[in-house]
Chains A and B, each alone.
Chain A
């Protein structure tokens, strides 16, 4: 989850998010360089006593400021397209999870196991234990195995929602009548928080998502325990 007053991206928990963070740093550095160059040139132009009033024939500089921005744009576009195609890849998922948005909670179904499904409501503030996060905790966390490719099928039962977990680089719209597919994979165990990202009514800000990634053996124990109950 985000630290207080955090401006940057959250720490990556999946390989895709690492790529996104690296690309973001690359593009942001280019933006900072161009902006500081432009600001410096503006300050030079505003503080000079020299003037030039005749039309200039400036072929060389025109060539430079056509070719250089084109090169910069290509340098931004190629990694961007690579990541775009990478996020679209699906490599033999180990598990399939259905995340269905409702007003105003998420329900999860693990159809690979028989009858494993539950709803995930927000934990109201007056029920929180010390140390828990306001507006981010849920009653039933979505438990998943780490280091496994998981296919998440996202849909909605009423209005538009969006299933987003920033640490894993996932944000996929939940559209009624449509199944959207996203791949989720975490490299380490932990809790990853997200919030509904498409306006869906009065409690749109109060339907968070908590993914709990645990070791593989513990996940099998959890799934069998819920299945029996």
Chain B
């Protein structure tokens, strides 16, 4: 299957940018989905040991993928602890 694809690519080199962009887009989507599944505090995998991870948010953690103006490491915690 892969050999067939390589044969086609050698005959039509314009397929290379197509594979590059589609691969980057598919890989990027998969990686982002994995990031959301593993690091998003709204997701609970382990019901016994970590049942509600959204209750354990820290004031200095950045949970979003990209922060434009807010520097999370400089924020202070202003709420009382439970």
Residues in chain A within 8 A of chain B (CB atoms): 58-60, 62-63, 66-67, 70, 81-82, 85-86, 88-89, 91
Residue contacts A-B, CB under 8 angstroms, 11 given: A59-B12, A60-B14, A63-B13, A63-B17, A66-B21, A82-B66, A85-B64, A85-B68, A86-B68, A86-B69, A89-B67
B65 on the A face (CB < 8 A):
yes
Selected from B13, B65, B69, the residue in CB contact (under 8 A) with A89 is B69
Give the interface SS of chain A, mostly helix, strand, loop or mixed: helix
Q: Is the CB of B66 within 8 A of A70?
A: no
A85 touches B67 (CB 8 A): yes
Chain B residues, CB < 8 A from A81: 66
Contact with A along B47-72 (1 / 0, CB 8 A): 00000000000000000111111100
Closest Cβ–Cβ distance, residue A68 to chain B (whole Å): 10
Shortest A10–chain B CB gap in Å is 23
* Shortest distance from the beta carbon of A111 to any chain B beta carbon, whole Å: 17
Find out whether the CB atom of A88 lies under 8 angstroms from the CB atom of B14.
no
Q: Is the CB of A70 within 8 A of B17?
A: yes
Flag if A63 contacts B14 (CB, 8 Å). Answer: yes
Please give the distance in Å from B10's CB to the nearest CB on chain A: 11
Which residues of B23-82 are within 8 A (CB) of A? Answer: 64-70
Count chain A CB atoms within 10 A of each CB in B12, B14, B64 and give the residue with the most.
B14
- The 7 nearest A-B residue pairs measured at CB: A62-B14, A63-B14, A86-B68, A59-B14, A66-B17, A70-B21, A67-B17
Interface of B is mostly: loop
Query: Which A residues are CB-close (under 8 A) to B5?
Result: none
Closest residue of chain B to A71 (Cβ to Cβ) is B21
Size category, B interface: 10 to 19
B64 to chain A, nearest CB (A): 6
User: Quick one: closest B residue to A81, CB to CB?
Assistant: B66
A85 and B14 contact, CB distance less than 8 A: no
Report the separation of the CA atoms of residues A62 and B15 in the bound assembly, to the nearest whole angstrom: 8
Q: Which residues of B contact A58 (CB under 8 A)?
A: 14
**Bound: A62/B13 CA distance, A:** 9
Q: Could you tell me if A59 and B13 are in contact, using CB atoms closer than 8 angstroms? A: yes
- Whether the Cβ atoms of A91 and B69 lie closer than 8 Å is yes
Please name 18 further chain A to chain B contacts, defined as beta carbons within 8 Å, in addition to the given A63-B16, A82-B68, A86-B68, sorted by A numbering. A58-B14, A59-B12, A59-B13, A59-B14, A62-B12, A63-B13, A66-B14, A66-B18, A66-B21, A70-B17, A81-B66, A82-B66, A85-B64, A86-B69, A89-B67, A89-B70, A91-B69, A91-B70
